Amino acid sequence: MENIISKYKDKGIRLTPQRIAILKFLEGNTDHPAAEDIYRKVRRRYPTISFATVYNTLQTLTEKGDLLEITIDPTRRHYDPNTTPHHHIVCTDCNEIMDVFVDYSDVLTLPSHVLREFKPVGNHVDFYGVCRKCQKKKGGEN
Amino acid sequence: MENIISKYKDKGIRLTPQRIAILKFLEGNTDHPAAEDIYRKVRRRYPTISFATVYNTLQTLTEKGDLLEITIDPTRRHYDPNTTPHHHIVCTDCNEIMDVFVDYSDVLTLPSHVLREFKPVGNHVDFYGVCRKCQKKKGGEN
DNA sequence: CTCTTATATTAGAATTATTCTAATATAGGG
DNA sequence: CCCTATATTAGAATAATTCTAATATAAGAG
């Protein structure tokens, strides 16, 4: 936590108690929370926190490059404090998301006619699968 | 168009004029339209069509496996009538989406600890880049 | 060709995620 | 300890999608 504070002291972002709570919740979190998950958790300690604060903070962190927005669930944005390049596998049944730490950048090459139209700046692989819990659930349905 | 009709005759989906109009709009379309794009277009010929009809039809087609939902723009779902496995590159500036027809399945392997938790069923690569139009626009900003 | 009914369409309301607003509060440098 | 630029807040606004329940119709049966 001290590290969080020192990390942001200079970046021109004010460390309010609400922001510190959000940062603490996010730090090391691998659950890929949505804004509402963060709101629910932080509200336990700061009952008057508003969604605007949560969204503002998430946007600020994203702009500073300390948070990634994950667009893999069509119903809501998820956030990932791990900003090292990595990928995700989502359960097609329950939408659980797991990290995939493999660097595919060498093999994800683009054909020249695409490169003629786009200057690539990054990539992200969405894997789809069925998690163990849902495999069991489905097996039981037969 | 005859092909569309015969294609759906048996599938247990009724061919209403609205659905035919949606199918015709989608057939061969590579623009990755959102529901609203489809609604606007079809409304020109069927001014009373409702969003419910558009969404219902898109869902039906998706369930029949004849349409793909693309989750790459956090603000809305896009649809792709090309159901052969392929990928997309999105402009980070204007959100234009272009198809990428490359089969990466051989190289997109997953580590064993992921395979222990998930049974993979597919994958999709999101490439991010800047399209030519926006490159020019940005160049002009300096 | 007409009847029948299961299925589709419709207008509009409801829901849900996200953004906006404008009034109030406060972090943190001086 | 002040000052003020920035943050927080409640609540309204917006926008995509889903729901509802009344009405219409595709298409198979006769």
Enter the ipTM: 0.88
Three-class secondary structure of residue A130 per DSSP:
strand
**Sign, CA torsion A60/A66/A71/A73:** negative
Check for a shared fold between B2-78 and B84-141: no
Whether domain A1-83 has CATH 1.10.10.10: the reply is: yes
| Tokens read off for A57 | 């903070």
Element (H, E) at A117: helix A112-117
Taking the CA atoms of residue B128, residue B134, residue B135 and residue B137 in that order, the dihedral angle to the nearest 10 degrees is: -150
User: CB–CB of B104/A127 below 8 Å?
Assistant: no
Among 3.90.1150.10, 1.25.40.80, 1.10.10.10, 3.40.50.720, what is the CATH number of B2-78? 1.10.10.10
Question: Helix A17-26 and helix A51-63: axis angle, to 10°?
Answer: 60
User: CB–CB of A82/A30 below 8 Å?
Assistant: yes
Residues 15-74 of A with CB under 7 A from strand C: 15-17, 34-36, 50-52, 55, 59
| CATH code for residues A84-142 | 3.30.1490.190
> What are the sequence ranges of the domains in chain A?
1-83, 84-142
pLDDT in tens, chain B (142 residues): 456 666 776 577 899 999 999 999 999 999 999 999 999 999 999 999 999 999 999 999 999 999 999 999 999 999 999 999 999 999 887 788 999 999 999 999 999 999 999 999 999 999 999 999 888 876 654 4
**A102 contact B CB<8A:** yes
- CA at A6, C1' at C11: how many angstroms apart? 56
In the sheet that holds A97-100, the strands lie side by side as: A97-100, A87-91, A118-131, B118-131, B87-91, B97-100
Q: Which CATH class is domain B84-141?
A: alpha beta
A37-79 tens-digit pLDDT: 999 999 999 999 999 999 999 999 999 999 999 999 999 999 9
Please give the C-alpha separations between residue A131 and each of A138, B8, B106, B113, B131, in angstroms, as whole numbers: 11, 33, 22, 12, 36
